[in-house]
């Protein structure tokens, strides 16, 4: 009896103290845990891509049916604001990539600064989007049945057949993209706080890496939305 109890718990106890705090028991190593989490994230990103692809298909079908409508309606969007927002989002992608670069080199402070910069840029994106939306609403450029364009260069849209289709697609696509930006800001904020609390190091930074992947996907969706809605 005595020998049994002596032998049995001993290895588990040493196991417990040997592995780092972040490593869960069902993984062999930190490396395997990191790879599993990352594959899971890529699978999630694919579901996100498929979610957006449904809207891209809607855009392609309606554009193919009414090409003139899309050309005429996209001219009412503000290219300057769209370009600024593209550059803002690309810069935020750079800062989030830099935050991963610094946490891999154990420079936690620089990592937190870059996550903070990403948050500020994401907020800037939403502020510009807010001004764009309100200027559309002022002129009655609402989605779907509420579409009632008037004033400024929107008045001409009343004569463009199917113009409300463009604005339905515009608001749904940019709206769901904007929702992803807001969710991204919440996650980046949480990661920044955890980094500040000292949860991450070059040994363990999986949440920073996965948040970065998510944020780059949000950027990629905008990379396609910008020319499709504003330029062509």
Binding residues for another protein, per CB under 8 A?
20, 29-31, 34-35, 38-39, 42-43, 45-46, 49-50, 53-54, 56-57, 60-61, 64-65, 79, 83, 86-87, 90-91, 93-94, 96-98, 101, 104-105, 202-203, 212-213, 216, 219-220, 223-224, 226-228, 231-232
Smallest distance from the beta carbon of 208 to another protein, in angstroms? 12
Residue 42 beta carbon to another protein: minimum distance, rounded to whole angstroms: 5
Nearer to another protein, 76 or 86 (CB): 86
Residue number with CB closer to another protein (6 or 18): 18
Smallest separation, CB 56 to another protein (Å) = 7
Smallest gap from Cβ 51 to another protein, in A, equals: 11
Residue 84: Cβ-neighbour burial (10 angstroms; 0-12, 13-18, 19+): middle
Tell me which residue of 105, 126, 129, 122 sits closest to 201, measured CA to CA. Answer: 105
List for the chain the helix, strand, coil content (%; round to 5): 80, 0, 20
Distances (CA, A) of 161 to 63, 66, 69, 165, 220: 13, 9, 7, 9, 31
* Pick 97 or 117: Cβ nearer another protein: 97
C-beta contacts of 18-22 below 8 A and 24+ residues apart: 20/203, 20/204, 22/203, 22/204, 22/206
Beta carbon of residue 205, minimum distance to another protein (angstroms, whole number): 9
CB-nearer residue toward another protein: 167 or 209: 209
Could you give the CA distance from residue 84 to residue 127 in angstroms, rounded to a whole number?
12
Decide whether 56 or 162 has the Cβ nearer to another protein: 56
């Amino acid at each position: 009896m005595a020998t049994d109890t002596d032998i049995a718990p001993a290895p588990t106890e040493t196991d417990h103290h040997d592995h780092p705090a972040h490593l869960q028991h069902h993984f062999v190593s930190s490396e395997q845990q990191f790879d599993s989490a990352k594959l899971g994230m890529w699978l999630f990103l694919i579901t996100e891509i498929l979610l957006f692809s449904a809207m891209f298909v809607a855009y392609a079908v309606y554009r193919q049916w009414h090409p003139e409508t899309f050309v005429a309606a996209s001219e009412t969007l503000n290219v300057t604001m769209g370009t600024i927002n593209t550059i803002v989002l690309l810069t935020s992608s750079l800062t989030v990539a830099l935050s991963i670069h610094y946490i891999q080199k154990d420079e936690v402070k620089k990592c937190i600064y870059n996550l903070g910069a990403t948050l500020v840029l994401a907020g800037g994106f939403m502020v510009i989007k807010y001004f764009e939306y309100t200027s559309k609403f002022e002129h009655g450029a609402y989605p779907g049945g509420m579409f009632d364009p008037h004033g400024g260069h929107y008045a001409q849209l009343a004569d463009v057949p199917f113009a409300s289709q463009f604005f339905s697609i515009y608001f749904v696509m940019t709206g769901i993209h904007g929702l992803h930006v807001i969710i991204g800001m919440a996650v980046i904020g949480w990661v920044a706080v955890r980094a500040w609390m000292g949860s991450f190091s070059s040994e363990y930074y999986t949440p920073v890496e996965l948040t970065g992947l998510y944020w780059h996907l949000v950027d990629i969706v905008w990379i396609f939305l910008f020319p499709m809605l504003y330029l062509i």
